[in-house]
Chains A and B, each alone.
Chain A
Amino acid sequence: MAVGPLRLWAVSPAASGTKFVVVLLRGGYDAASVLVPYNSAFYYEARPTIAIPRPGSGGADAALALDSYWGLHPALKDSVYQLYQQRQAFFVPYAGSQDVSRSHFHAQDVVELGQGYGGKLDYGSGFLNRLVEVLGGTSGHGGVSFTDNLPLVFKGGVTVANLALKGNGKNPFNERQTGLLEKMYQGTNLSHDVHEGLETRRQVSDELEREMVDSARGAVNAKGFEQEARRMAHLMRDNPTYSVGFVDVGGWDTHIHQGAAKGALSDRIRSLGEGLAGFAQEMGKSWNETVVVVVSEFGRTFRENGDRGTDHGHGSVIWVLGGGISGGRTGGEQIGVSAATLFQNRDFTVLNEYRSLMGYVFTRLYGLNSSDVGRVFPGAPSGKYSFL
Chain B
Amino acid sequence: MLWASDPAPRYAGNSSVSSLCHFSLVALMMLCSTAISAELSGDDLRAINRLTFGANDASVDAYLRAGRAGLWAQQMRYVGDEALPPQARDMVRAMTITGTPVRALVGAYEEEAKRLKDLPEGEGRKARHKELNERYKFILEEAQRRRIIRALYSGNQLQEQLTWFWFNHFNVFQGKEKVKLLVADYDESAIRPHVFGRFRDLLLATLMHPAMLVYLDNAQNAVGHINENYARELLELHTLGVDGGYSQQDVQELARILTGVGVNLDSRQIKLPPRLRGYYVAQGLFVFNPQRHDFGEKTFLHHRIQGRGFDEVAEVIDILCSQPATARFISTKLAVYFMGDDPPANVIQRMQNAFLASSGDIGHTLQAMFDSSEFWRDDYLGKKFKDPVQYVFSAVRLAYDGRMITNYKPVQNWLHALGEPLYGHQTPDGYGMRQKDWASAAQMTKRFEVARHISNAGPKLFGPADADENESPQPSTAGDMQPAIAQSRTFMRMQPLLSEQTSQALAQAKDNREWNALFLSTPEFMYR
Q: Are B232 and A120 in contact (CB under 8 A)?
A: yes
Asked whether B501 lies within 8 Å of A123 as measured between CB atoms, the reply is no
Flag whether B429 is at the interface (Cβ < 8 A): yes
Least CB distance from B235 to A in Å reads: 11
CA distance A230 to B297 in the complex (A): 62
A181/B442 in contact, CB under 8 A: no
The residues of A that contact B440 with a CB separation of less than 8 Å are 149-150, 161-162, 193, 197
Contact with A along B412-454 (1 / 0, CB 8 A): 0000010100000011010000000001111111101100100
Task: Give, as a whole number of angstroms, the nearest-CB distance from B251 to chain A.
Answer: 9
Secondary structure of the B contact surface, majority rule = helix
The number of chain A residues touching the other chain, given as a range, is 35 or more
Within 8 A of B (CB), among A8-28: none
Q: Which residues of B511-526 are within 8 A (CB) of A?
A: 514, 518, 521-523, 526
| Cβ of A242 to closest chain B Cβ, rounded Å | 12
**In whole angstroms, how far apart are the Cα atoms of A105 and B217 in the complex?**
14
Interface size class on chain B is 35 or more
A162 close to B441 (CB less than 8 A)? yes
Q: Does B204 contact A (CB under 8 A)?
A: no
Please state if A123 and B122 are interface contacts (CB–CB under 8 Å).
Answer: no
Closest residue of chain B to A160 (Cβ to Cβ) is B440
Distance of A209 from chain B, by nearest CB (Å):
19
For B121, the chain A residues whose CB sits under 8 A away are: 306
Partner of A185, one of B176, B236, B417, B523: B523
Interface status of B247 (Cβ within 8 A of chain A): no
For the complex formed, measure the closest distance between the CB of B295 and the CB atoms of chain A, giving whole angstroms.
Answer: 27
Q: Is A180 an interface residue (CB 8 A)?
A: yes
Q: In the docked arrangement, what's the CA distance between A306 and B122, Å?
A: 7
The answer to whether A184 and B505 touch across the interface, beta carbons within 8 angstroms, is yes
Is A123 a contact partner of B427 (Cβ separation < 8 A)? Answer: yes
Query: A196 with B126: in contact, given A120-B232, A183-B505 (CB under 8 Å)?
Result: no
Give the residues in chain A near B426, CB-CB below 8 Å.
105
Given contacts A162-B441, A164-B442, A197-B444, contact A190 B526 (CB under 8 A): yes
A181 and B448 form a contact (CB under 8 A): yes
Check: A173 CB closer than 8 A to any chain B CB.
yes
Q: Verify A161–B441 contact, CB threshold 8 A.
A: yes
| A194 and B444 contact, Cβ closer than 8 Å, known pairs A123-B429, A185-B523 | yes
A181 to B502, CA, bound (A): 9
Q: If the complex has contacts A150-B440, A190-B526, A193-B440, are A307 and B419 also in contact, measured as CB distance less than 8 A?
A: no
Assuming the contacts A164-B446, A193-B443, A306-B121, asked whether A149 and B427 have C-beta atoms less than 8 A apart, the reply is no
Complex alpha-carbon distance, A183 and B499, angstroms:
11
CA distance A206 to B214 in the complex (A): 49
Whether a CB of chain B sits under 8 angstroms from the CB of A237 is no
Interface residues in B473-524 by Cβ distance below 8 A to A read 499, 501-502, 504-505, 508-509, 514, 518, 521-523
The CA of A120 and the CA of B233, in the complex, are separated in Å by 10
Q: Which A residues touch B232, using CB under 8 A?
A: 120
Complex contacts, A194 vs chain B, CB 8 Å: 441, 444-445
- Tell me the complex Cα distance, A181–B449, Å: 12
Residue A198 CB within 8 A of the other chain: yes
Q: How far is the CB of A184 from chain B (nearest CB, A)?
A: 5
Tell yes or no: B243 within 8 A of A by CB. no
Known A123-B427, A184-B518; 15 more pairs at CB < 8 Å: A148-B419, A148-B442, A149-B419, A161-B440, A161-B442, A162-B441, A164-B442, A172-B452, A181-B518, A184-B505, A185-B523, A190-B439, A306-B121, A306-B122, A307-B126
A-B contact pairs, 13 of them (CB 8 A): A120-B232, A149-B440, A162-B442, A172-B449, A181-B505, A184-B499, A187-B501, A190-B526, A193-B443, A194-B444, A197-B443, A256-B123, A256-B126
B residues apposed to A, CB below 8 Å: 121-123, 126, 175-176, 232, 236, 417, 419, 426-427, 429, 439-446, 448-449, 452, 499, 501-502, 504-505, 508-509, 514, 518, 521-523, 526
Instruction: Give the B-binding residues of A (Cβ under 8 A).
Output: 105, 109, 120, 123, 147-150, 161-164, 172-173, 176-177, 180-181, 183-188, 190, 193-194, 196-198, 200-201, 256, 306-307
